[in-house]
Structure 1
């Protein structure tokens, strides 16, 4: 008789059930640990984003466009002028859809969406990293890469802010997760072959609609997707169609509706020109305060130890390549005036493949050093409030908390009631009983000069003020919020940027001569404020009626008939590259030759 036969049947059942429970317990424990590793960083990022929640003036620019959309006026900043003030096209429409559904302040909606999308992006990154590395190693996987991103204050700040950074993080994470999932199964694998990568191509192709500069990241990811799948020519064309279909359709709409090929801020900031010195200063302002060269050097040394067959896997190679190219592009165009905002996506891309590193002795040593750096970065190291001259770079979150007196300035009401100069001038204009153009003039009443606004605009007030988001909040939707810096004013955006204008704040190098605004918004013969040269105003009036400048004005202000849409679309390239001299006298001489 065998030992097995000596055990009663009931005891067999008890042993089998115990083994099943033990196996289920171990499996459940593994799942819990996996969920903690994948979801833990997302919870930390969302908590820190919520803790730092705020909206800056640039975030309020989106709010006005969204309110115009919800009011049925179309994707414009001002009635009667088709200007695309939103850099993040998809972000604008997401806020509009969510605000329509919940009926909340668009800036509050933007903060909420930004934090949630940041968390979703982190989850996708961690899940993709583990999926990409697990088939290559049975060792425990440590999330070293994420230790570099989580302690950086700029990452916390731009999880909200009202800007599209949260969407950028979510798009990058989702795109990479789909790229990793697109790898065909190994030969002999029991896993069924996945579809041909069309979903991945579609999502990756949305990059230009998230932010125009993310087209570079999308191109690298699409190249990696093709490398992974090696599809035949027919499928390659279908995948390109999936990637380019929606962006191409929106580009046709943009060309016909706005008359140019890029959002207006890209023209204002001259995103095709190089300002390397300012870009390197911007990078130093980001890397210096956090001592980023320390963790990046450690991870670079660790990456050298990665086996060649692993390093050349396209899904692991694409993110750092895209991150380096993103940083290079940001430096080339001169960076930004907001500390770290344009560099955080590149840092995320650089560290993504190292968010799941197989455990080894060198990895343990690097992990200890990274942990020490992360503690110091999170608790001690902060960027300066302002970098000073020649390039002004600000810790914007700290700046807006300070001037509003609110630790979490996220509503339009908070911003509207705190900054005083424009509101009294608007009230005085309403009391004037006639349409008024308000302009900032030293010595004017409440700091503004009041001029008679031309009746052709159909508005009570046109207010020119250099804080566009605030101006858009306090100026009614039916009135004109005039942007002398060009983010929402085509006339200012198409000025030529000269070498003398590359210092100061990035993106603020095209202040429009007041003569142009007066010429555009008043009738001939209007009384001028003291100090303004009537000859320059006359020159500006004449230039506005000449050649390509007159056509530019018509492209955004003429009624949008089918023929106007077609004319806009056909001339979009010419208008996109058109620039005119900022000096009215020189512009008249150049544009109005006879």
Structure 2
């Protein structure tokens, strides 16, 4: 029907496809640009880095509250060069990387074909509302997409037989990029690790390890000595060690159901298998690269399902979906029907969006469209793009006044409900014998921390910035990612608050018991890892802790368990 081998058209179809996808990605991501509360958490760490306090969330406490190591440093680097607003850097840097990922992925996949190509899988990804939401958001998703796209491109460069004569440079570049996976996001080590294993088997050269390992290994030693942990602290807080398959499949249904995502995926699978050579001729081949990426994406998806998914709509499934779609970002003109079907589906999904009934926010919800939620909560027509816009939320009413009271000498501030049922914040006096910094406790760390000075300690009860909370027992049936909770008595105990002055709704006797319990050796050992001054001795003790008790230490929620 079509002349699929026209060399001139085939040559031009590659940049044309990349341009179309790039424009759609830029337009779609820009139109839905925003910053999330979790994105603001990253910026608090960047503020501390900029102030010379180190890669910490709170001054004087070495806690790695961000999952991505490189993302915070990229934002800092752009800040140094441009002096732009941190929120804008996080939004537009993420968008730039996401668009670059879509273009690189399209170009790389198009290069697998000898004839004219048309966009297909790339249209499916860019049409999804959560995909475009997380092109920005302030989180590292744009960086993760760029990492995967570049890994795919480098893998194809290495895999092509006609490239073999050019020596091992392709293998070395691929090895270096694979090694970065752990620093971008821990679960991406699945992709980098499997690629590294394939490289080792293929090249049988120690040079692959010599190139891949120094940077991640060096940072890992730093992490163990500086923070006293093997992983980012978020992994301790979220304890992804249990199996939550039921919640995982609920999360999967919440993602694929609203968009009928199965339909284009079936079309793409059929298009990919149409007259395909399924048996790879050798390990170092394009077919092997496809199997590697798709297989790793399946493993990644199974991991997400096993841990119960996430509390943000679609977020944790976006990366494995992107990786699985990369090999079929474009299709040959011979299967043009697949491209047309994907385009029609994409138009319908993009126009329909992800409608959410605001009434759901008045009840307990386990999975939320985060962008829509914060647009609704901040009572704006557009989603928030600056930290101060989160102050419009009802939950932040009275917060700025409470922060001023902390700056004037109070020890701790509490969120409470006033007589009319509206929320506000109340500060309490300090105990002169205590030296703890003024403290804020709240579930949403981003909006509280970015609207507070750096000398105010901002903690959460679920443990992202709080090692004491992170080692509490998991709440059975709790919301994924939010299934730990440090009780109010413990919060008061680990602060400078005068227990006699705390609000009446707090159990003062329990708070006194908790403060006494904190003298227990296990608590003191934990506190030492992140609060003691960082000397060489402390550094080596932290490494020892990270390999021993740091992997398993947990606390009872009952202060009485530690009292004679």
Matched, 1:488 2:488: no
* Cα distance in 1 for residues equivalent to 2:337 and 2:160: 34
SS at match of 2:439: strand
Contact 1:275 1:332 in 2 (8 A): yes
Contact 1:205 1:243 in 2 (8 A): yes
Give 1:99 deviation, angstroms.
1.2
* Cα distance in 1 for residues equivalent to 2:134 and 2:235: 20
- CA 1:192–1:473: 2 relative to 1, 3 Å: closer
* Cα distance in 1 for residues equivalent to 2:22 and 2:294: 21
Equivalent residue runs for 1:173-252 within 5 Å: 173-183=149-159, 185-186=161-162, 192-195=166-169, 197-226=171-200, 230-232=202-204, 235=205, 237-252=206-221
Contact 2:10 2:115 in 1 (8 A): no
* Cα distance in 1 for residues equivalent to 2:27 and 2:341: 25
Q: 1:290 aligns to what?
A: 259
Equivalent residue runs for 1:216-365 within 5 Å: 216-226=190-200, 230-232=202-204, 235=205, 237-305=206-274, 306-309=276-279, 313-360=287-334, 363-365=335-337
Q: 1:54 aligns to what?
A: 34
Give 1:457 deviation, angstroms.
7.2
Q: 1:79 aligns to what?
A: 59
Residues paired across the two proteins, number = 546
Q: 1:470 aligns with which of 425, 429, 447?
A: 447
* Cα distance in 2 for residues equivalent to 1:562 and 1:222: 33
Deviations 1:210-248 (A, max 9, x none): 111111122233344446xx112xx1x321232222111
Give 1:530 deviation, angstroms.
1.0
* Cα distance in 2 for residues equivalent to 1:101 and 1:323: 36
Contact 1:184 1:193 in 2 (8 A): no
Give 1:487 deviation, angstroms.
0.8
Deviations 1:130-161 (A, max 9, x none): 22x23xxx432233221221211111100000
Give 1:428 deviation, angstroms.
3.8
Give 1:355 deviation, angstroms.
2.0
Deviations 1:55-93 (A, max 9, x none): 010000011110010011111111111111111111111
TM-score (normalizing by structure 2): 0.90
- CA 1:399–1:524: 2 relative to 1, 3 Å: closer
- CA 1:529–1:390: 2 relative to 1, 3 Å: closer
Equivalent residue runs for 1:415-564 within 5 Å: 415-416=390-391, 419-430=396-407, 433-443=408-418, 447-454=424-431, 461-499=438-476, 502-504=477-479, 506-522=480-496, 526-564=500-538
- CA 1:357–1:30: 2 relative to 1, 3 Å: closer
* Cα distance in 1 for residues equivalent to 2:224 and 2:434: 24
Structure label with greater radius of gyration = 1
Contact 2:154 2:170 in 1 (8 A): no
SS at match of 2:427: strand
- Mark the runs of 5 or more structure 1 residues left unpaired by the alignment: 1-25
SS at match of 2:414: strand
* Cα distance in 2 for residues equivalent to 1:36 and 1:256: 49
Q: 2:555 aligns to what?
A: 580
Give 1:484 deviation, angstroms.
2.0
TM-score (normalizing by structure 1): 0.86
Contact 1:224 1:318 in 2 (8 A): no
Q: 1:157 aligns with which of 133, 158, 166?
A: 133
- Mark the runs of 5 or more structure 2 residues left unpaired by the alignment: 1-5
* Cα distance in 1 for residues equivalent to 2:345 and 2:508: 61
